[in-house]
Amino acid sequence: MIHSLFIINNTGDVFMEKHWKSVIHKSICDYFFEAQTKAGSAEDVPPIIATPHHYLINIYRNQLYYVAVVTTEVPPLFVIEFLHRVVDIFEDYFQGCGESILKEYYVIVYELLDEMLDNGFPLAMESNILKELIKPPNFLRTITDTITGKTTGVGATLPTGQLSNVPWRRTGVKYTNNEAYFDVIEEIDAIIDKSGSTVIAEVQGYIDCLVKLSGMPDLTLTFINPRLLDDISFHPCIRFKRWESEKVLSFVPPDGNFRLLSYHIGANNMVAIPVYLKHNIFYREGTAGRFDVSVLAKSTMGKTVENLVLECPFPKSVLNVTLTPNQGKYSFDPTTKVMSWDVGRLDPTKTPNIKGTINLQTGCPVPESNPTISLQFTISTLALSGIKVNRLDMYGEKYKPFKGVKYITKAGKFQIRT
């Protein structure tokens, strides 16, 4: 299974290593650096690298590479999922996961890694169990520790949830205010071609929850139109049989923040495109080229499109752009050649537009093709697919919880070819 883990920063410094079996010298990372040099950008490093005796499986998150070393035939997805989970847990513990933060909580990081794997097998990966074993650092604790002179961050009793049928939930949870919030988030991934027609559009949806309920609540959640959800991935807490037979989500929730389920509404269903672009972009040799783009609302179901940002990556041969937006601000990064226009709110009475000139570097040929523009935006109180929660019921506990459901649509990978 997983033999060792190295954490490497952007400058190629192996600043943390952990071995669950014998020690593998960090010179093994040279193979990784080799692959990194070959890759065009930080994201392009292949996730699996073969070396003569080991395999390096890595992920790239928050400007850090997490490189796991395996020596036997293991499912690579297992390792990749594990690494992502490790980062999730770090983020949960330290409210961030940069290099400086990891260094700051070095010992806790090390203790966590030690608790997560045993002999390369995952041991405790549930955040609630880990928190009972190793207390997360927080301001309050630091103060109480200093006052009482007690500095142990390690729990001395066996975590309760570890072996129950519901390992994701600890026992004895108590809140004065019992509340449960459900966010239905839909991300629209789309490719729109030059002429404005949709090449592909699909929705990636999630239900993220914040549940603060005392005791062992047993929840059921129903939808008005469950039929929409045919491609769905569940958190382990959901009872699959109930869903299969009755299309009811029945579960004992974990405590705190978690993702209840994710779903996918494929390209074979019709997905409405909320916004589109009108564009006129061309380059000219010697003189300035032209850039003229307007954003228009299409099917927003009467809701407002907010936080609209347009990004346009130009080819290397572009020197700079001189543009005038009629709304918001734009910036151009001369090293990455990315133009970013922060449009803000899409006012239905006004069409945001940006236009101006593109200047090529002297002597460079005209680029082959126009850039692909990507959009970011959010639309609150709307789930694009039309999915709607019907009701939430709680069994097993006596109190009356406060419940809330919120819908948000966001742009995922929303790309427009020009």
Partner 1 sequence: MTDSKYFTTTKKGEIFELKAELNSDKKEKKKEAVKKVIASMTVGKDVSALFPDVVNCMQTDNLELKKLVYLYLMNYAKSQPDMAIMAVNTFVKDCEDSNPLIRALAVRTMGCIRVDKITEYLCEPLRKCLKDEDPYVRKTAAVCVAKLHDINAQLVEDQGFLDLLRDLLSDSNPMVVANAVAAISEIMDASPNAASALEMNSVTINKLLTALNECTEWGQVFILDSISNYTPKDDREAQSICERVTPRLAHANAAVVLSAVKVVMKLMEMLDTSGDYVTSLVKKLAPPLVTLLSAEPEIQYVALRNINLIVQKRSDILKNEMKVFFVKYNDPIYVKLEKLDIMIRLTSQSNIAQVLAELKEYATEVDVDFVRKSVRAIGRCAIKVEPAAERCVSTLLDLIQTKVNYVVQEAIVVIKDIFRKYPNKYESIIATLCENLDTLDEPEARASMIWIIGEYAERIDNADELLESFLEGFQDENTQVQLQLLTAIVKLFLKRPTDTQELVQQVLSLSTQDSDNPDLRDRGYIYWRLLSTDPAAAKEVVLAEKPLISEETDLIEPTLLDELICHISSLASVYHKPPNAFVEGRGGQRRVLPVKSQSEGTTEEPAAPAPVSQPAPQPTVIPGADSLIGDLLDIDLGPGPSMMQQQMYPAQQAAPIQPAGNTGGMDIFGEGLDNLLGGGSSGGDMLGGLGDIFGMPQSQSYIPPQEVWLPATKGKGLEITGTFARKSNQINMELTFTNKAMQPMSGFAIQFNKNSFGLMPAQVLNIRTPLPPNQSASTSLPLNTTGPVQKMEPLTLLQIAIKNNIDVFYMSTQVSLHVLFTEDGEMDKKVFLKTWKDIPAQNEVQYTINNVQHNADTVSQKLRNNNIFTIAKRNVEGQDMLYQSLKLTNGIWVLAELKIQPSNPSFVLSLKARAVDVYEAIKTVYENILHN
Q: Which of residues 8-47 bind partner 1 (CB under 8 A)?
A: 15-23, 26, 39-40, 43-44, 46-47
Scanning 236-244, 245-253, 274-282, 285-293 for contacts with partner 1 by CB under 8 A, the matching segment is 236-244
Question: Between 287 and 326, how does the x/- string for binding to partner 1 read (CB under 8 A)?
Answer: ----------------------------x-----------
Which residues lie below 8 Å from residue 79, measured CB to CB, with a gap of 6+? Answer: 2, 57, 68, 70
CB of 144 to partner 1, least distance (A): 12
Subset of residues 345 to 374 that bind partner 1, contact rule: CB under 8 A: 368-369, 372, 374
CB of 349 to partner 1, least distance (A): 33
What is the distance of C-alpha 275 from the center of its chain? 23
Q: Taking CB under 8 A as the rule, does residue 58 contact partner 1?
A: yes
Q: Taking CB under 8 A as the rule, does residue 386 contact partner 1?
A: no
Q: Taking CB under 8 A as the rule, does residue 50 contact partner 1?
A: yes
Q: Taking CB under 8 A as the rule, does residue 189 contact partner 1?
A: yes
CA-nearest of 372, 374, 376, 325 to 353 is 325
- What backbone phi and psi angles, to 5 degrees, belong to 43? -80, -15
CB of 293 to partner 1, least distance (A): 17
Subset of residues 137 to 176 that bind partner 1, contact rule: CB under 8 A: 142, 145-146, 149, 151-158, 162-163, 165, 167
- What backbone phi and psi angles, to 5 degrees, belong to 278? -110, 130
Subset of residues 99 to 128 that bind partner 1, contact rule: CB under 8 A: 103-108, 110-111, 114, 118-119, 121-123, 125-126
Q: How many residues bind partner 1 (CB under 8 A)?
A: 100
CB of 222 to partner 1, least distance (A): 18
**Six-digit token pair at 28?**
């093994």
